[in-house]
């Protein structure tokens, strides 16, 4: 698989990354089952065989089990750690944690960020993360506290580079005013059926747009400031490739266009959905999260094709449910 250089880092990542959210098996507080452990190894091995070297985690995924089961791979491939890129995220706290009655919340306090990374490293059985992202914006964020945590983690060698997830341009600017380390990544939801990041530019200055758009100039901001964009849920949970029955009309019509172009190019529907993201000049990195081995392989076929401008716009129009203005 082709590689992309993450700007302001020494990291060369596969065009497509793998998101480990579901490999822990379930979201209970119970340990991972033997079945989940075996499944996780198969998923990781398949991803590696397809040329993926970038693996995305978060401390909350399957309540930590996704990181724990991932660490099994070191026994099979002892030299692998130096050949892959490990990313994890922190900042989301579950309800009733650690006290019954506490609400679900976000926490970018110095203590929680540092504590979270210690837990991540322990579960992943590694000495360092290549990338740490702040998972979702914390309205109570104190940028100086984040800066203190990042400096601690960087100086101790526990985190090489830093970024954010689900942050707007303004939220990134607020953090940057206190940070010494650059923010090199922003992970955002983006797919053929979730188009806010680019649709806002198309309908700007239009009368009465028929749907809300919430891009806030974030994609353009990231391009201007050399912040790599990662797309979470790039396969739209199977809706864009027709893998979900009884869909709404917009999703069904999009899946029909995807299917036709896939047949014309003799590739999978998943490959077309991912290739549509890869065609964007921002070099957006899709982070696929399917646990189906065949769908992992299918999505990776996107590395072999490039959509024309006309094909890209046909898919864009189908995904937005209307032609461009």
Phi, psi of 322, rounded to the nearest 5 degrees: -165, 150
3-state SS string for 70-122: HCCHHHHCCCHHHHCEEEEEECEECCCCCCCCCCCEECCCHHHHHHHHHHHHH
Question: CA torsion 198→1→121→125, rounded to 10°?
Answer: 160
Residue 61 annotated in active site: yes
Strand 92-93 versus strand 105-106 pairing type: antiparallel
**Sign of the CA dihedral with 318 first, then 219, 52, and 72 last:** negative
Strand 3-5 versus strand 12-14 pairing type: antiparallel
CA distance 92 to 103: 11
CB of 96 closer than 8 Å to CB of 127: no
Which of 18, 61, 106, 161 is flagged as catalytic? 61
3-state SS string for 240-276: CCCCCCCCCHHHHHHHHHHHHHHHHHCCCHHHHHHHH
CA distance 172 to 163: 9
224-249 as b/e: b if 16+ CB within 10 A: ebebbbbbbbbbbebbbbbbeeebee
Q: CB 252: neighbour CB atoms within 10 A?
A: 15
CB of 3 closer than 8 Å to CB of 17: no
Q: CB 175: neighbour CB atoms within 10 A?
A: 20
**Sign of the CA dihedral with 303 first, then 5, 196, and 247 last:** positive
Active site residues: 61
């Amino acid at each position: 698989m082709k590689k992309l250089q993450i700007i302001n880092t020494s990291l060369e990542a596969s065009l497509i990354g793998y998101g480990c959210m579901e490999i822990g098996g379930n979201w209970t507080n119970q340990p991972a089952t033997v079945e989940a452990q075996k499944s996780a190894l198969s998923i990781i091995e398949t991803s590696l065989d397809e040329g993926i070297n970038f693996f995305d985690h978060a401390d909350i995924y399957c309540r930590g089990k996704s990181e724990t089961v991932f660490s099994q791979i070191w026994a099979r491939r002892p030299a692998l750690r130096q050949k892959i890129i490990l990313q994890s995220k922190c900042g989301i706290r579950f309800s009733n944690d650690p006290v019954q009655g506490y609400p679900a919340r976000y926490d970018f306090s110095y203590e929680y960020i540092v504590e979270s990374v210690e837990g991540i490293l322990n579960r992943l059985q590694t000495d360092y993360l290549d990338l740490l992202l702040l998972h979702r914006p914390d309205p109570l964020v104190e940028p100086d506290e984040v800066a203190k945590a990042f400096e601690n983690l960087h100086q101790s060698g526990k985190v090489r580079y830093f970024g954010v997830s689900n942050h707007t341009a303004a939220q990134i600017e607020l953090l940057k005013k206190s940070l010494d380390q650059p923010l090199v990544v922003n992970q955002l939801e983006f797919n053929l059926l979730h188009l806010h990041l680019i649709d806002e530019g198309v309908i700007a200055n239009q009368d009465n747009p028929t749907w809300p758009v919430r891009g806030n100039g974030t994609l353009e901001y990231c391009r201007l400031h050399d912040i790599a964009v990662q797309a979470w849920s790039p396969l739209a949970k199977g809706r864009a490739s027709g893998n979900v029955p009884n869909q709404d009309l917009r999703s069904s019509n999009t899946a029909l266009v995807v299917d036709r172009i896939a047949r014309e190019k003799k590739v999978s529907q998943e490959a077309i959905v991912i290739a549509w993201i890869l065609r964007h000049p921002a070099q957006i990195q899709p982070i696929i999260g399917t646990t189906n081995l065949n769908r992992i392989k299918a999505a990776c076929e996107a590395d072999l094709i490039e959509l024309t401008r006309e094909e890209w716009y046909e898919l864009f129009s189908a995904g937005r449910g209307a032609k461009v203005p």
